[in-house]
Amino acid sequence: MILKGHAIEIVVIEPFEWEYGNITGVISSTKNDNRLVVKLSKRIERDKLENGLIELKPRYQGETFNNLLIGESIMVAGALITENSKEFEYLFIGEMKLI
């Protein structure tokens, strides 16, 4: 399945004090089978970065986004990233679902 353009929702599990609620966005690009770049519906402001882009990776070794179908979920680690550089700031662990 081609993931680019699909909407996602993430329920954040850690950190427990997450203040942004559930995260929604659209997959803007894929970086092989184990990295997705998502354009968020709302910007997130953290210590180092404020942006509307996150990179997601499967939380558990051996998992990929390759066969993910609409309605299915996968545990992910997410980091806030910048478009034009390699800067990132770790954000959360959560459960991502294609919607």
What average pLDDT score do residues 59-81 get? 91
On whether residue 24 sits in a domain, the answer given is yes
Vertex 17 angle, CA 20 and 3, to 5°: 45
Which residue range forms the structural domain that includes residue 84? 7-98
Inside any domain, residue 15? yes
- Give dist(CA 51, CA 58) in Å, integer: 21
Per-residue pLDDT tens over the stretch 55-69: 999 999 989 998 888
Residue that has been written with the tokens 């990295």 in this structure: 35
Name the one residue in this structure whose structure tokens are 């990179």. 55
Task: Decide if 30 is inside a domain.
Answer: yes
Split into its structural domains, the chain has a count of: 1
Q: Is residue 70 part of a domain?
A: yes
| Closest to 74 measured CA to CA, from 4, 5, 13, 2 | 13
Averaged confidence pLDDT in the chain: 89
pTM: 0.89
Domain annotation covers residue 1: no
Q: Is residue 73 part of a domain?
A: yes
26 falls within a domain = yes
Predicted confidence band of residue 23 (pLDDT cuts 50, 70, 90): very high
